[in-house]
């Protein structure tokens, strides 16, 4: 089952953060909802260049 809002992400390293982002965007797209913004914590995974690149690739 895809991750969705309010889901728990046990490991907040960059690869898991990116996968969570992709899963969430796919989940909401299946519902016809476009993700335009993401609110995250200030952890290193969310400040990484890789996470920023993933956001850009998804149009966020």
In the numeric block, which tokens belong to residue 15? 């690869």
Smallest Cα–Cα separation from 51: which of 13, 24, 25, 23? 13
Handedness of CA 23, 29, 33, 36 (dihedral sign): positive
At 13 the pLDDT is 82
Answering whether pTM is above 0.85, one says no
Q: Is the predicted pLDDT of residue 4 greater than 60, yes or no?
A: no
Mean pLDDT of 19-29: 91
Q: Give domain limits for the chain.
A: 14-57
């Amino acid at each position: 089952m895809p991750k969705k809002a309010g889901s728990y992400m046990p490991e907040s390293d960059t690869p898991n953060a990116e996968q969570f982002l992709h899963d969430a965007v796919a989940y909401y797209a299946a519902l016809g909802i476009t993700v335009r913004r993401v609110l995250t914590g200030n952890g290193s995974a969310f400040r990484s260049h890789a996470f920023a690149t993933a956001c850009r690739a998804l149009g966020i």
